[in-house]
């Protein structure tokens, strides 16, 4: 490694070490801002090795460019500095949220989520009956349909509501559905729900020093490792469950290379390949790209004549020709392609501020709304690293849309239940808020 490259690598390592030292040793609440920095470290982790496994047939090794290291350092540095400055200001002002806003008539959101999950589960099983044992994820994606969207977000919101209210039976049901979602090939709901539950619990505990919470740190590390390994063995597991033949799983589990590939070809490596290739090739997009991506947040926008193309459809044919599968997005690669290093720094600042705002919203809200905001916040600060702006806005819209549907149904159950009770002379149910 040449001198300039070594300097860039040292700066990157220094930012990571200083940031991790602060977030683990400072007495502060583990919130979205903490998760934002840790998520960036996880998704940038291939930079520790200095190279990535470049996707292709066969895959190749690609060195991480010097300029890419500066991009990573700026992202982490801006997020860290924004949060540490805000922490200092809020501590000196003694700012504390003393009031919570909770939506009324939402006490049946958990039950409604269970009903939504059961109905969509039946629809999913009908859709998947011919491809359940397939090892091709593209076949699964084509088969699940819109039922999976309702299923995924219903079980996530329902699990978080039941977690907050300590409803063990509902929690068991949603956990079973999350396991099913894992088996058919989708990890997003389980990972985001797990992280959202951690944020909710840590917000309840208040300021602590993470460095002494070995059980929490160990569980997060174990969950991350399991998520990476699961992707490598997932289709062999599902094939075995569907057919009763676990020979494929035994062969993979007995091959040491499988464990190495689980990390070498994981999402962080794919997203880093996107960023590194865009930096090396100086791939550029006009500002209009971001404007059309924001427009895509409007429901049914394509029906009004807008041709909204995602980031992947623009860079993959140029930088990854010949690949038969879609690359994971990378929002910082997208920002670099539109506005260079300055837009990357600006977006990192905006992301850090949104993470800080999300922490205040969690403090200021209660009950089911708090659960939905926790899930939306985790999708923002964690999952954004593997998405582009268009798809991320779609994810946030789905969380809010499904929660709104659950809340409306809960409100109707409450309203008609109260009306029926009044007509029959009985008292209306009491919220367990």
Tell me: the pLDDT tens digits for 371-394? 999 999 999 999 899 899 988 998
| 172-187 pLDDT tens trace | 999 999 988 988 888 8
* Alpha-carbon torsion (82, 84, 87, 93), positive or negative: negative
Residue 296 resides in a domain = yes
Please report the pLDDT score of residue 351 as a whole number.
96
**CA-CA-CA-CA dihedral for 152, 156, 162, 163, to nearest 10:** 150
- pTM for this prediction: 0.87
Number of domains making up the chain: 1
How far is Cα 402 from Cα 116, in angstroms, rounded to an integer?
Answer: 10
Please report the pLDDT score of residue 283 as a whole number.
92
Residue 301 resides in a domain = yes
Please report the pLDDT score of residue 364 as a whole number.
82
Residue 377 resides in a domain = yes
Residue 430 has pLDDT above 50, yes or no: no
Provide the 3-class DSSP secondary structure of residue 321. Answer: coil
Domain that holds residue 412: 100-340+356-424
Interstrand relation of 51-54 and 60-63 (parallel, antiparallel or unpaired)? antiparallel
Residue 68 resides in a domain = no
Band (pLDDT 50/70/90 cuts) for residue 307 is low
Average pLDDT of the segment spanning 266-275:
87
Residue 291 resides in a domain = yes
Residue 75 resides in a domain = no
| 33-69 pLDDT tens trace | 999 999 999 999 889 988 887 766 667 788 899 999 9
HSE of 270 in the Cβ direction (CA atoms, 13 Å)? 20
Please report the pLDDT score of residue 305 as a whole number.
56
In this structure, of 79-88, 278-287, 420-429, the range with the lowest mean pLDDT score is 420-429
Do residues 223 and 191 touch, judged by C-beta distance below 8 A? yes
Residue 61 resides in a domain = no
Residue 30 resides in a domain = no
Structure tokens that stand for 3 in this block: 């001198």
Helices (H), 94-213: 109-128, 137-144, 147-165, 168-183, 188-205
């Amino acid at each position: 490694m040449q001198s300039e490259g070594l300097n860039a690598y040292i700066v990157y390592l220094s930012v990571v070490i200083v940031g991790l030292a602060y977030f683990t040793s400072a007495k502060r609440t583990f919130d979205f801002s903490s998760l934002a920095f840790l998520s960036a470290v996880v998704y940038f982790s291939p930079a520790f090795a200095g190279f990535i496994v470049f996707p292709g047939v066969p895959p190749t090794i690609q060195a991480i460019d010097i300029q890419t290291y500066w991009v990573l350092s700026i992202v982490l540095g801006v997020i860290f500095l924004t949060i540490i400055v805000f922490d200092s200001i809020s501590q000196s002002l003694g700012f504390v949220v003393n009031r919570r806003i909770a939506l009324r008539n939402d006490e049946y959101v958990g039950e409604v989520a269970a009903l939504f999950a059961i109905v969509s589960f039946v629809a999913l099983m009908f859709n998947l009956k011919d491809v359940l044992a397939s090892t091709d994820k593209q076949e699964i994606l084509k088969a699940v349909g819109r039922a999976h969207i309702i299923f995924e977000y219903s079980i996530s919101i329902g699990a978080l509501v039941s977690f907050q209210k300590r409803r063990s039976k509902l929690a068991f049901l949603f956990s079973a559905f999350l396991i099913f979602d894992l088996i058919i090939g989708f990890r997003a709901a389980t990972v985001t729900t797990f992280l959202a539950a951690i944020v909710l619990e840590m917000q309840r505990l208040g300021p602590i020093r993470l460095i002494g919470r070995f059980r929490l740190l160990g569980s997060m590390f174990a969950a991350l490792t399991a998520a990476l390994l699961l992707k490598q063995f997932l289709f062999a597991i599902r094939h075995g469950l569907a057919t009763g033949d676990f020979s494929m799983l035994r062969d993979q589990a007995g091959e040491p290379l499988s464990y190495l590939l689980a990390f070498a070809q994981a999402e962080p490596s794919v997203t880093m390949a996107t960023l590194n290739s865009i930096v090396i090739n100086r791939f550029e997009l006009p500002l209009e790209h971001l404007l059309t991506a924001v427009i895509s947040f409007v429901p049914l926008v394509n029906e009004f004549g807008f041709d909204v193309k995602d980031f992947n459809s623009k860079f993959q044919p140029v930088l990854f020709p010949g690949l038969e599968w879609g690359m994971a997005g990378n929002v910082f690669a997208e920002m670099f392609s539109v506005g260079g290093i300055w837009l990357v720094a600006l977006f990192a600042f905006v992301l850090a501020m949104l993470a800080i705002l999300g922490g205040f919203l969690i403090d200021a809200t209660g009950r089911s709304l708090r659960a939905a905001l926790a899930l939306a916040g985790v999708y923002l600060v964690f999952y954004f690293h593997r998405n582009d702006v268009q798809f991320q806005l779609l994810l946030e819209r789905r969380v809010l849309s499904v929660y709104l549907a659950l809340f409306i149904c809960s409100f109707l159950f409450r309203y008609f239940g109260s009306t029926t009770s009044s007509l029959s002379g009985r008292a209306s149910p009491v919220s367990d808020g």
